[in-house]
Structure 1
Amino acid sequence: MMFDLPDDETLYAALIARDAAWEGRAWVGVASTGVFCRLTCPARKPKRENCTFYDSIGGAIEAGFRACKRCHPVATAAQSDPAVADLLAALERAPARRWAEGDITARGHDLSTVRRAFKRHFGMTFLEMARLARLRAGAAELVGGASVIEAQMEAGYGSASAFRAAFAGWTGLPPGAFVPNAVLRADWIETPLGAMVAVSSAHALHLLEFTERKALPRELAALRKDAKGSLGFGRYGPTDRIEREMDAFMAGRCARFDTPLQPLGSTFTRQVWDALREIPAGQTRSYSQLARDMGRPDATRAVARANGANPIAIVIPCHRVLGADGSLTGYGGGLWRKQKLIALERAYATVGSHRERSAE
């Protein structure tokens, strides 16, 4: 987790200086390019607002970033371990291959040794790394309008059932559940805090979540059911709009979101989400304060449940709610992101800027 890293200004200064002291300790994901790098990367330095720092290579990969081809962060981390170097080279030669434990032992490597080495270097196993690469490649094909069989082949799955099972484990839905010309369409947007899945109709945004959010499969299934199965890949105007607004928010230019929203929820949960949007950027509330603001002082627990069920991250700012003692408490996108968002929004409070509710 990022709690072990210093503040981003220190890390960004190290990036600009190409400080070798951070080799093997920190990596940077660049939202504008979708790649992650060593802090000593010789490439042109990115803008501060496009940078997110990670304390493991695995964290950067899970957030949706690809390894830089100039500084080779993955290869650099493995240079001292022949087994890791061999497997990474093999994966690079055959990225679509469906790797199994037998493939590792066939190359003369001990499974437990390889597992420990990959976890130590990257925070994930070799098989997990290979699976993420295959699934992301397959999903990219589906977004581009490819058939399920084309996506399956791109992802390196010889068996359609195996691809469906793996995809379902990731998103909660088999790839065949995503249909062409759908009422709701899902796509990815990149942010400095990691990749997000956006689902929108022609008129409104229905979901915006970080890709590793545990509730994402359940939320996608609920949207598909509500749309009577009409959920597909691609994007409508609201996804383009929220991408532009998210870029401005993350860059510190504007905390206002005007994209029309249409999240699934009961009357009460929608009231809680509306109340969340009344909290100005740079301010926080406790669950009990939020309940009192709504005129429901006895509904603190229900307010907390509705807060946790929020399907539109950041825009409906559930990250602005803290525990009664001021602690961060839970956050579906990860506590490190909640900490980052609160820190980012302090600048908005300083200049007196705040997000205004959109007319929905």
Structure 2
Amino acid sequence: MAEQGGPADLSTKGAYVSGGKEFQRDTNYITTRITADGRDGYPVEPGRYRLVVARACPWANRAIIVRRLLGLEDVLSMGICGPTHDRRSWTFDLDPGGVDPVLGIERIQDAYFARFPGYERGITVPAIVDVPTGQVVTNDYPQITLDLSTQWKQFHRPGAPDLYPEHLRAEIDEVAHRVFTEVNNGVYRCGFAGSQRAYELAYQRLFTALDWLTERLTNQRYLVGDTITEADVRLFTTLARFDPVYHGHFKCNREKLTEMPVLWAYARDLFQTPGFGDTIDFDHIKKHYYVVHTDINPTQIVPSGPDLANWLDPHGRESLGGRPFGDGTPPGPPIPSEVVPAAHGPLGDASRR
């Protein structure tokens, strides 16, 4: 969800740290919604929209996971940007000719400008684009996943889990809010802190929240209730990036995830659940953070470590009970065009050493 500058700036270098200041995330997104009743002018329609993501981005990763768990691949296509971007926007450099085959554009910025000429806010992923007009509909990432669960229900696969059950929504919202402010965004407040004091405050808040999560998850398998919910999706994408990126690159180094037994087992449990680990591209994750954030990694050297094969170690969380998909079933394998290359996963990482 990196935010880029104006169209004249072609540099790959980004400025993410404001000297002497605490990191403040711009959360003013395009709040247009795609709904069953089309209240904002964009009704849910199979094949009409394209979800644009980058596997490197934790915020986009949430949408990838939810779309896959709900089985929406056949009704909502997905365009995948490469792991790095310039200051204008994410680019489709993974596609032949560097052009998205459905939208016919080289960068997601073009879809933003098609609806909002000269759009001055962050050109972010995930974003959903209206294919017939080529215009961005929304980049409001927290609402996107909730709407996939609630507004697209008619098109969920048979056996799709209920990730946002009505009777648990208040608790899910409460937990997800703390996860966002203290953990999802907390790692960025550490990494992009503009002063020692701002960093230390952010560091304390982050690990206080991780300790709270450890306590919460010690005797229950999932964050809310006995099944996977939206809250677990939101925490997982940060945990998956913790040791490869946040521990070193963002100085979140009180402990590695692998040194926090409860959270490490919880993260492995989800990683080994269909729909979670099979969306994680460690190669893209490391390239994005270490190459793009040149103000905190000016050499752009991408670390070789850490060892990632241990993501596949037994987690033992089954002993806590719980039913990952409730009364539903796991999703099938990813569609061929969306399979993460084996070399970018835990086993591929291990084979390189």
TM-score category of the 2 structures, normalised to the smaller one:
under 0.3
- TM-score, length of structure 2 as denominator length: 0.28
- TM-score, length of structure 1 as denominator length: 0.27
Structure of higher RCO (CA pairs closer than 8 Å, 6+ residues apart): 2
Greater gyration radius: 1
Which has the larger helix fraction?
1
Which has the larger strand fraction?
1
